[in-house]
Amino acid sequence: MSGNHPHGSTLSEMDLRVRALETLLVDKGWVDPAALDALVETYEHKVGPHNGARVVAKAWADEAYRERLRVDATAAIAELGYSGRQGEHMVALFDAPGVRHLVVCTLCSCYPWPVLGLPPVWYKSAPYRSRAVIDPRGVLADFGTTVPDDVELRVFDSTAELRYLVVPMRPAGTDGWSEDALARLVTRDSMIGTGTTLDPASLEDAR
């Protein structure tokens, strides 16, 4: 079960509270241990930014796939096995020279779980949700990302019906890289628009 830990392991206070709550819910019959384990397995291994990174890397490496992603992102993402709740209606936003994209959900925290996992705390915060629309350059500056004045910054507001995945520009110097290596350059924040991809020089051994 998900609460099992090796003897002698050190748990934080929060981990101990979660474990106690899990045990209580299971003992009272309110939670099925198998269902809980399946849920943990899903969010630890089956959904998350690594899925989105695979989508982006394939779009970089395969022009035909890139076009399918542009035309119908939901179907193209499903080709790689990533679909389901919170990913039913996807749109890919392609960064380009002179154009960057930023994604926010101003009403709540709509987010593409199958390709990005659970949303970070800051994505759900009121300051981000409001400032991303009225001062997107300021928000990006807070993340350490400077967008020149001559670059158009387009902000897209997610909804319960529509979610977005930013496809950042492929880093220079990655010609001939495998999709696996390319995927290692893609960060969660670059697929939201608040961050950038990693420097290829930091992963020269991954080519």
Q: Looking at the annotation, which residues are catalytic?
A: 105, 108-110
Burial of 201 (0-12, 13-18, 19+ CB in 10 A): exposed
Q: Cα-Cα-Cα-Cα dihedral of 18, 121, 195, 45, to 10°?
A: 30
Mention every residue, 6+ apart, whose C-beta is less than 8 A from residue 126: none
Structure-token pair, residue 143: 């993340």
Cβ atoms 133, 193 nearer than 8 A? no
Q: Please, how many CA atoms are within 13 Å of residue 52, restricted to the half-sphere of its CB?
A: 30
Structure-token pair, residue 67: 């076009």
Q: Which long-range contacts (CB under 8 A, 24 or more apart) does 68-73 make?
A: 69/167, 70/94, 73/165
Q: Where are the alpha helices (DSSP H) in 28-162?
A: 33-41, 49-61, 63-71, 73-79, 113-116, 121-124, 126-134, 136-142
